[in-house]
Every structure is written in structure tokens, then in C-alpha cells.
């Protein structure tokens, strides 16, 4: 049967009624790919799976939550939707809001949004406003503006975002036939790790799974407020999607980690890029830099002996590599240009 998107497929677990209009692009049902070659290299005694959220309609997991958030905005007759964004939330809001015939406003930190994401927001017809500050400031302003204008804020502090995003955890269980032992996720505003925990918990309560996984959140060293235990005023990392210094769902994330006996780790940008290139070159899975933080975190934990033999590990790859073409090109070997002759091409191949 045709996949109908997360609201219809997981309706029993979501706060919707017959009156809720369903705005969907048939998000969800993303691949769970076994990564044996990568496992051999980074965690040889465990089974490793990648939840490829870049396969969602706008190329990131944000679509799961946006389907619900925009549907609920329509239901309550909001005049418009607005978000602050490191990029993917705006791409998703622009697509779903446009589909729902709602005006969409996005506030982004100037100069720190990957090109593909900016292109999406613009192509889908959102009004894009660049803020001369970072994401945290953009979100603070967004909250004020929404309260004053009667717009629906569709950032992850909107509870419907997490409700929708929890469906990814349920899918993992359906695809594996059980819950994994460990689940690794990149952490920025910390909504997604909280949503997964909510999803696993709901599935557990419904008797769909026998245990819940340990949740391991991974932050970038230059943007690791939760690991460090304090707000980071000027977060810095190549992984722009997790370049956040004051996560909105900080407490919920700590709860997920605490209740699951998991952990919150940080990795360097170098480690992120190593994982990013390994995933693309060895597993054929091109994700964006922030997504690779999950695999970089697993690599670090495995080296520290924290992945027991026989464990089943899932890493969520949150967004598609095409979102950030600049990083792909600038961190890969340069393409060479040669004369258009057989000899020159052969010489280049053999060089
Ligand atoms: C939004 C996003 C994240 C961070 O998710 P949070 O819920 O903010 O922790 C990570 N990776 C990508 C690609 C994202 O778009």
C-alpha cells in the first residue's frame, strides 16, 4: 500500500483528530541501511545501521515534524508560519507552508546557512530575512514576532514538531523488528534526540518493543553547551545545522540521556569530516556535515571501549549531503582539467 506520510501512518500516536487538515509530502519511511563496511572499520563487534533522513521530501528529518506543525497551524487558523533556522527548518517550513497556502517567514543567521537550504527556502517562495547575528538571537526575535503577529512559530519549541519527529524512532523499531541497543544522534537545538526518546517510550508503552535504546547525543566541540554545562555565546563548527549555543530542548535532551542511561559527547570538526567522507566514499551515503557527527561520536565511543560486543547501533543521518555542496567541494580532492584527448585523459587516470 502507498505510504501516506507520518500523520496517517502513525495517527494513533499523534495529537490529531478527524478535524485536523493533513499537510503532507509523504515524509518518513526513510531507509535504514546496514553499514557493514563502516562497522568493520569503526565498531567491528557491533551491527551498525544508518537511518537516512536525508531521504525525506526536503532532504532532512525536519519534514516529519513540519507535517504536523503546519497541519496544526492550519487547524488553528494561524495567519502565517515563521521559524528561525540554521537552514533545514526553513527549507521544510517553506515547502509545507507553501503547500498549505500559508505565508512563510524565515529568519536565518546571515552567512551561516548552507547554500542548498537557502536555495530551497527561496524556491518554495518563503520570505527570507537574514539576521546579522547567530541562530539563538534569530530564535529569540522569532518568538517575540510570532506572539505579536499571531503567526505560528514552527521551530522545535513548537510541541507538534517533536510529536511528528518521534515517528522516526517508531520506524526504526518497525524496520529492525526491535529497538536497537544504542541510538546515536547529532544534537543542535536538542529537539530531535528528545523526539526519538519520546517515540521509543511511546512504542515501549504500547508493547511494540521490549526495551528502549541508550540515547547518545553528539555535539560539535565548538558548539557543545550541553556537554560543557553552559551556554556557548559564539558557537563555531563546520556543521552549521548544529551550530547552536543555547539549545531550546536542553532539559528534555538531558532527560532522554539520563532515563536511557545514555550520554552526551562532543567531537571535533576534523572527526566530523572524517566520518562524513567515510560515509560517502565507503557506504554510498552522502549526508551533510552535521549528520556525520553521529558516526563521529560512535567512532569515539567505540575506541573508548563503550560499544559492547553484539550491540545493535543505529546512527541517524539527519540531512542530505547536497544541502551543503560548498563543504563537499572544499574538503574533497580537486577535480582536474585536461585537454580533450585520449592521451591526456589516460595520463590523468594513471597519475
Ligand atoms: C536540525 C538539524 C540537526 C539538529 O537537530 P536538533 O533537533 O536541533 O538537535 C542536526 N542535523 C541536521 C541536518 C539538522 O537539520
Residue of 56, 83, 88, 117 best suited for mutating to test ligand 1, as the one with most atoms within 8 Å of CB = 88
pLDDT band with cut points at 50, 70 and 90 for residue 106? very high
pLDDT band with cut points at 50, 70 and 90 for residue 136? confident
What confidence score (pLDDT) does residue 104 get? Answer: 98
Taking CA atoms only, the protein residue closest to ligand 1 atom 4 is 188
In this structure, of 34-43, 105-114, 244-253, the range with the lowest mean pLDDT score is 105-114
pLDDT average, residue stretch 25-31 = 98
CA distances from 285 to 206, 220, 343 (A): 33, 21, 33
Q: Report the separation in Å between the CA atom of 191 and the middle of ligand 1, taken as the mean of its atom positions.
A: 8
DSSP letters for 272-316: HHHHHHHHHHHH---B-HHHHHHHHHHHHHHHTT-S-TT-EEEEE
pLDDT band with cut points at 50, 70 and 90 for residue 109? confident
pLDDT average, residue stretch 139-152 = 95
With a 6 A CB cut-off, is 190 part of the ligand 1 pocket?
Answer: yes
What confidence score (pLDDT) does residue 86 get? Answer: 84
What confidence score (pLDDT) does residue 351 get? Answer: 87
pLDDT average, residue stretch 308-333 = 97
Has residue 134 got a pLDDT over 90? no
Residue 190 CA: which ligand 1 atom is closest? 9
User: Mapping DSSP to helix (H, G, I), strand (E, B) and coil, where does residue 29 land?
Assistant: coil
Question: What are 255-276's pLDDT values in tens digits?
Answer: 999 999 999 999 999 999 999 9
Q: Report the separation in Å between the CA atom of 192 and the middle of ligand 1, taken as the mean of its atom positions.
A: 7
Nearest to 21 by CA among 76, 85, 89: 76
Mean confidence (pLDDT) of the chain: 96
Residue 290 CA: which ligand 1 atom is closest? 11
Has residue 205 got a pLDDT over 90? yes
CB 109 within 8 A of CB 138: yes
User: Mapping DSSP to helix (H, G, I), strand (E, B) and coil, where does residue 255 land?
Assistant: helix
pLDDT band with cut points at 50, 70 and 90 for residue 113? confident
pLDDT band with cut points at 50, 70 and 90 for residue 112? confident
What confidence score (pLDDT) does residue 111 get? Answer: 85
Q: Report the separation in Å between the CA atom of 318 and the middle of ligand 1, taken as the mean of its atom positions.
A: 6
What confidence score (pLDDT) does residue 318 get? Answer: 98
Amino acid at each position: 500500500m502507498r505510504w501516506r506520510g507520518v500523520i496517517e501512518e502513525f495517527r494513533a500516536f499523534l495529537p490529531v483528530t478527524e478535524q485536523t487538515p493533513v499537510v503532507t509530502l509523504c515524509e518518513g519511511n526513510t531507509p535504514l541501511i546496514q553499514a557493514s563496511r563502516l562497522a568493520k572499520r569503526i565498531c567491528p563487534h557491533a551491527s551498525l545501521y544508518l537511518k537516512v533522513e536525508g531521504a525525506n521530501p526536503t532532504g532532512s528529518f525536519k519534514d516529519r515534524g513540519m507535517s504536523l506543525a503546519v497541519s496544526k497551524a492550519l487547524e488553528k487558523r494561524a495567519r502565517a508560519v515563521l521559524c528561525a533556522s540554521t537552514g533545514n527548518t526553513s527549507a521544510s517550513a517553506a515547502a509545507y507552508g507553501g503547500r498549505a497556502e500559508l505565508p512563510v517567514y524565515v529568519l536565518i543567521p546571515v552567512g551561516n546557512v548552507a547554500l542548498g537550504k537557502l536555495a530551497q527556502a527561496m524556491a518554495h517562495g518563503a520570505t527570507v530575512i537574514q539576521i546579522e547575528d547567530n541562530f539563538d538571537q534569530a530564535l529569540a526575535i522569532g518568538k517575540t514576532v510570532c506572539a505579536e503577529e499571531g503567526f505560528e512559530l514552527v521551530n522545535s519549541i513548537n510541541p507538534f514538531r517533536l510529536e511528528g519527529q518521534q515517528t522516526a524512532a517508531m520506524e526504526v523499531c518497525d524496520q529492525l523488528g526491535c529497538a536497537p541497543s544504542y541510538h546515536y544522534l547529532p544534537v543542535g537545538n536538542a529537539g530531535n534526540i528528545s523526539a526519538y526518546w519520546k517515540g521509543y517510550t511511546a512504542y515501549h508503552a504500547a508493547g511494540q518493543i521490549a526495551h528502549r535504546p541508550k540515547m547518545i547525543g553528539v555535539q560539535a566541540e565548538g558548539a557543545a553547551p550541553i556537554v560543557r554545562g553552559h551556554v556557548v555565546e559564539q558557537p563555531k563548527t563546520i556543521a552549521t545545522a548544529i551550530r547552536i549555543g543555547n539549545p531550546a530542548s536542553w532539559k528534555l535532551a538531558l532527560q532522554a540521556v539520563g532515563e536511557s542511561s545514555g550520554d552526551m559527547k562532543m567531537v571535533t570538526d576534523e572527526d566530523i569530516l572524517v566520518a562524513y567522507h567515510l560515509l560517502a566514499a565507503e557506504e554510498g551515503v552522502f549526508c551533510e556535515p552535521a549528520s556525520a557527527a553521529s558516526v563521529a561520536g560512535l567512532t569515539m565511543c567505540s575506541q573508548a571501549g563503550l560499544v559492547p560486543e553484539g550491540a545493535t547501533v543505529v546512527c541517524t543521518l539527519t540531512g542530505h549531503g547536497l544541502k551543503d555542496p560548498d563543504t563537499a567541494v572544499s574538503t574533497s580532492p580537486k577535480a582536474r582539467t585536461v585537454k580533450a584527448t585520449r592521451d591526456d585523459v589516460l595520463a590523468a587516470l594513471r597519475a
